[in-house]
Amino acid sequence: MSTRASTLTGRIMSAPSIIVLFLWMAVPLGMTIYFSFLRYNLLSPGMEEWIGTLNYEFFLTDPAFFASLANTLLLVGSVLVITVVGGILLGLMLDQPIFGRGILRLLVIAPFFIMPTVNALVWKNLLMDPVSGMFAWIASLFGLPAIDWFTNAPLTSIIIMVSWQWLPFAVLILLTALQSLDRDQKEAAQMDGAGPISIFFYITLPHLSRAITVVVLIETIFLLTVFAEIFVTTGGGPGLATTNIAFLVYTQALLQFDVGGASAGGIVAVILANIVAIFLIRLIGKNLDN
Amino acid sequence: MGAIRLEKVKKTFGTLDVIPGVDLDINDGEFVVFVGPSGCGKSTLLRLIAGLEDVTDGKILINGTDVANEAPAKRGLSMVFQSYALYPHMTVYNNIAFGLKMAGESKEVIEEKVQSAAKILNLTDYLERRPSALSGGQRQRVAIGRAIVRNPAAFLFDEPLSNLDAALRVNMRLEITGLHQELKTTMIYVTHDQVEAMTMADKIVVLQAGRVEQVGKPMDLYNSPANKFVAGFIGSPKMNFLGGELAQKHSCHEIGIRPEHVAVSTENGEIPATVKIAEHLGAETYLHVEADGYGPMTVRATGEVPLGEHDKIFLTPEQDRIHRFDAHGLALGNS
């Protein structure tokens, strides 16, 4: 791609996909921004009027906004910690030549292929149900009272379900990173007198830093928009206990029929996601260099 | 102090006998080279001494104590790996200091030892760099630096020069030899390159299929190889092996003659031959010839020789340089 002609050809060839991508992103974004400045309620069609930043004022001063912002951050943070730590431990185990490793790897990866709604239903009806769930049955074996997960620990329940869904992704990335660790380096550290724990902290963990960065960045993108698990199980409740930003926008738009307010919420969510992204890339993105 | 003694050291992987049983004595301060073709078990033997593999049977004595069941770090040995195995996320300083840090040395001691090692190896200006910012030779030196700070009983080198280019290899060869003269520590060096073995070793151990074929000084191996394998492996280009009439004349199964011990003449000689390829190197010329009745041979002529393809020549082996072998490939002593 060095001559002027080949550069031009390249631009022409890639133009269609760039145009499609641009329209696909720009048009919905533009429409959302436009709607966010309108009074636009589905219950009173044809009454749309320009109201300036009033939608934003309502959304940002709503106590539900701060509650759901806190929930979002708590959910993202907890799931990241659980999946990264659990992913490293499971990765280390699956990297050992243990019996039945092939089948074990398959089983560990499996949850990633289950769709979030099914995942949520399995946890809600088969595992966490206080009457017929498996956890209640286990508790009864020890003579303990059953826990009503979604009433007493709603956000924890969501965190557990989402972690279960995302753990395989972390294991997959971290396991491949572990497998690429040069055996000589471990042996050199062994010769240098490092025990297994020193080797883990001085050799293995620094080697994994890049893979951990990838896991954190990608998971954050998806975890900011967790919706299905909440919708299927708690419906954002009790109260606002499990409402995150994505779910709040949904309640605005489709439960209160307030398209204008929901659009404003959507734009706020986009801005928040960007703040988190900038923060993350500043903080750990330099691991991806060199 | 670093005298190492192997007694009936055995290693099997599953049903595969990699090392069927090796006895070997390495004296304190000696530079010993393990040499052999790939897959001969020389690296495995080194890793057994290092403790990176468990011995199946036998004893490894370092200064008289059996360490066969000790952890690698407890044996007081340092190893330089073929891939250097530097820690990529640590600076050169931390790479060299790592072993001392693991041994729980104080900051001052570490600083002093790292600085003195860096001085010996010309690394002082590079201590704050990461390995990725170093050239191959410098990485090699860091790996050696990491080995010397621990003041080991012996150094183990696992093909340390095979990732370097030819010119640098010659340099590092001299540096390692110089280092040995300076430190006077026992060194065990594994290589498949017989030139490295010949130039560096006090004692060469030639291995084949896990067995020790011969142990001796470089020149002893060159002048009196114990068998056909050693004869063919030591020396470059390879020794020529001739059977037939010539062997019968020396009353043996086969004779061996090195390319440099054959006189080349265009007029007369013992064996008539035709030149196939002539390699002119200036100081010497290697002639790859087809000897009548004996097949392909390589001979070396000094200086520039005006010979090329299809030229007829005559070869005469130097009588006192002929090696005689029996039907099992064992040397019979000079005739």
Contacts with B89 from chain A: Cβ below 8 Å = 206-207, 209
Residues linked to residue B190 through DSSP beta bridges, in sequence order = B34, B158
Q: B226 and chain A: CB distance < 8 Å anywhere?
A: no
Cis check: omega of the bond before B131, within 30 degrees of 0: no
Q: Which of residues 59-78 of A touch B (CB under 8 A)?
A: none
- pLDDT confidence of residue A42: 75
Q: What is the pLDDT of residues A182-207, one digit of tens each?
A: 888 888 888 888 888 888 999 899 88
Q: Degrees (nearest 5) of the Cα angle B212, B218, B224?
A: 75
Q: What is the pLDDT of residues B175-189, one digit of tens each?
A: 889 989 988 899 999
User: Phi and psi at residue A68, in whole multiples of 5°?
Assistant: -75, -30
**Which candidate from A185, A187, A190 shows the least CB-CB separation from B87?**
A185
Tokens 């440099």: give the residue.
B260
- pLDDT confidence of residue A111: 86
CA atoms within 13 A on the CB side of B204: 29
Calculated CA dihedral for residues B42, B45, B50, B53, nearest 10 degrees: 120
Q: What is the pLDDT of residues A115-130, one digit of tens each?
A: 888 888 888 888 887 7
State whether B102 and A192 contact (CB < 8 Å).
Answer: yes
- Domains belonging to chain B, first-starting first, are 4-232 (3.40.50.300), 238-325 (2.40.50.140)
- pLDDT confidence of residue A285: 65
Q: What is the pLDDT of residues B227-239, one digit of tens each?
A: 999 998 988 889 9
According to the 3-state scheme, what is the secondary structure of B47-114? HHHHCCCCCCEEEEEECCEECCCCCHHHHCEEEECCCCCCCCCCCHHHHHHHHHHHCCCCHHHHHHHH
Q: What is the pLDDT of residues A16-74, one digit of tens each?
A: 999 999 899 888 888 888 888 887 877 777 777 788 787 788 888 888 888 888 888 89
Sheet of strand B57-62, all strands in order from the earlier edge strand to the far edge: B16-26, B4-13, B57-62, B65-66
Residues linked to residue B206 through DSSP beta bridges, in sequence order = B35, B214
CA distances from B296 to B232, B275, B311 (A): 15, 10, 15
Which tokens in the block code for residue B272? 């008539």
Residue B99 CA to residue B110 CA, distance in Å, equals 10
Cα of B97 vs its chain's centroid, Å: 29
- pLDDT confidence of residue A82: 95
Region B41-68: mean pLDDT is 88
Pairing outcome for strands B154-158 and B186-191 = parallel
State whether B73 and A209 contact (CB < 8 Å).
Answer: no
Region A125-142: mean pLDDT is 82
Beta strands in B228-270 (DSSP E): 240-242, 254-257, 262-265
State whether B77 and A189 contact (CB < 8 Å).
Answer: no
- pLDDT confidence of residue A19: 92
Q: B73 and chain A: CB distance < 8 Å anywhere?
A: yes
State whether A191 and B89 contact (CB < 8 Å).
Answer: no
Region A158-181: mean pLDDT is 90
- pLDDT confidence of residue A83: 94
Residue A95 CA to residue A89 CA, distance in Å, equals 10
- pLDDT confidence of residue B334: 55
Helix (H) or strand (E) holding B290: strand B284-291
Yes or no: is domain A56-288 CATH 3.40.640.10? Answer: no
- pLDDT confidence of residue A184: 87
B7 pLDDT band (50/70/90 cuts)?
A: confident
Q: B99 and chain A: CB distance < 8 Å anywhere?
A: yes
Non-local (6+) Cβ contacts of B206 within 8 A are: B35, B36, B212, B213, B214, B215, B221, B229, B230, B233, B234
State whether A191 and B50 contact (CB < 8 Å).
Answer: yes
Residue B131 CA to residue B171 CA, distance in Å, equals 20
**Which candidate from A182, A191, A290 shows the least CB-CB separation from B73?**
A191
Non-local (6+) Cβ contacts of B108 within 8 A are: none
* A204 to chain B, closest Cα gap in Å: 10
Non-local (6+) Cβ contacts of B198 within 8 A are: B204, B218, B222, B234
- pLDDT confidence of residue B335: 46
A113 pLDDT band (50/70/90 cuts)?
A: confident
Q: B98 and chain A: CB distance < 8 Å anywhere?
A: yes
Q: Quick check: B195 and B162 in contact, CB under 8 A?
A: no
State whether B98 and A202 contact (CB < 8 Å).
Answer: yes
Residue A233 CA to residue A219 CA, distance in Å, equals 21
Q: What is the pLDDT of residues B273-308, one digit of tens each?
A: 999 999 998 889 999 999 888 889 999 988 888 888
- pLDDT confidence of residue B189: 92
* A283 to chain B, closest Cα gap in Å: 18
Compute chain B's Rg from CA coordinates.
Answer: 24
Helix (H) or strand (E) holding B168: helix B166-183
Q: What is the pLDDT of residues A211-256, one digit of tens each?
A: 888 898 888 888 888 888 888 888 777 878 888 888 888 887 777 7
Residue B3 CA to residue A22 CA, distance in Å, equals 73
Residue B146 CA to residue B129 CA, distance in Å, equals 15
The answer, yes or no, to whether residue B88 has pLDDT greater than 70, is yes
Non-local (6+) Cβ contacts of B253 within 8 A are: B243, B247, B325, B326, B327
- Its pTM stands at 0.76
DSSP state of A174: H
- Which chain A residue shows the shortest CA-CA distance from B80? A188
B205 pLDDT band (50/70/90 cuts)?
A: very high
- pLDDT confidence of residue A288: 65
CA distances from A122 to A159, A213, B261, B267 (A): 15, 30, 84, 96
Pairing outcome for strands A49-50 and A38-39 = antiparallel
Q: Quick check: B53 and B80 in contact, CB under 8 A?
A: no
Q: Quick check: B223 and B39 in contact, CB under 8 A?
A: no
